Amino acid sequence: MSGSIAFVGDGLTAGGRWEEWFHGYTVHNLGVSGNTTDDVMARLPEIAELRPDAVVLQVGTNDVGWRRSDEYIVRNIETILVLLRRGLPSVRLIIQSVVPREREYAPTIRSINRHLWQFAPTQKVVYLDLWPTLAQPDGELDPAYSEDRLHLTDAGYDAWIAVLKPAVEDIFERPPVTSAIPVQQV
């Protein structure tokens, strides 16, 4: 496989060893610790400038930690996806579910992820659900993958990559999107 991939997100993305895990691709790690959906939105021109073949987005957990509403977070992530699609019409896009963290946040994160799962197809975006891999039945991040219920250990990254790698390989087996789906302006 070959092509360029921009991994975009917060500290979970920043901590990834993407070049090691995705050798054969040109990799851009655009993860920034502490980033929220607002921060990622502000960095969209930087992402567009790279003109990657694929964007793998993982963001939202810091918004949850700041106790922003699920509606706010969903609106921002949807806006990010629409703007990426508009600015890079043929880019391959993967939106990953907001990663589980402490149990108290599970209802909000589940709501966000349900909305993203429903929205993704409208922009020809692949939705990758990380919950079956990383969450316990009560919605808390599995302690086997984290020491603080927020950041991932090596075992957590291994579990994440085990589901992400096939998704990335799959999107590169398909032709790129050829046109954006227009979104009505209200």
Residue 148 and residue 141 in contact, taking contact as beta carbons nearer than 8 Å: no
The whole-number pLDDT of residue 176 equals 84
Domain count, the chain: 1
pTM here is: 0.93
Average per-residue pLDDT in the chain?
Answer: 94
What percentage of residues in the chain have a pLDDT greater than 70? 95
What is the three-state SS of the chain? Answer: CCCEEEEEECHHHHCCCHHHHCCCCEEEEEECCCCCHHHHHHCHHHHHHHCCCEEEEECCHHHHHCCCCHHHHHHHHHHHHHHHHHHCCCCEEEEECCCCECHHHHHHHHHHHHHHHHHHHHHCCEEECCHHHHECCCCEECCCCCCCCCCCCHHHHHHHHHHHHHHHHHHHHCCCCCCCCCCCCC
CATH of the domain at 82: 3.40.50.1110
Q: pLDDT tens for residues 126-185? A: 999 999 999 999 999 999 999 999 999 999 999 999 999 999 999 999 888 765 455 555
Is 3 part of a structural domain of the chain? no
Is 167 part of a structural domain of the chain? yes
Provide the domain limits for residue 60: 18-173
Is 54 part of a structural domain of the chain? yes
Mean pLDDT of 54-81: 98
Is 22 part of a structural domain of the chain? yes
Q: What are the angstrom distances between the C-alpha of 23 and each of 52, 155, 170?
A: 15, 20, 16
Is 4 part of a structural domain of the chain? no
b/e sequence 94-128, b meaning 16+ C-beta within 10 Å: bbbbbbbbbeebbebbbbbbebbeebbeebbbbbb
The whole-number pLDDT of residue 86 equals 95
Is 31 part of a structural domain of the chain? yes
Rounded Cα distance, 5 and 93, in Å: 10
Is 161 part of a structural domain of the chain? yes
The whole-number pLDDT of residue 180 equals 47
Is 27 part of a structural domain of the chain? yes
Residue 103: band (very low, low, confident or very high) from pLDDT cuts 50, 70, 90: very high
Q: pLDDT tens for residues 28-60? A: 999 999 999 999 999 999 999 999 999 999 999
Rounded Cα distance, 142 and 148, in Å: 10
The whole-number pLDDT of residue 26 equals 97
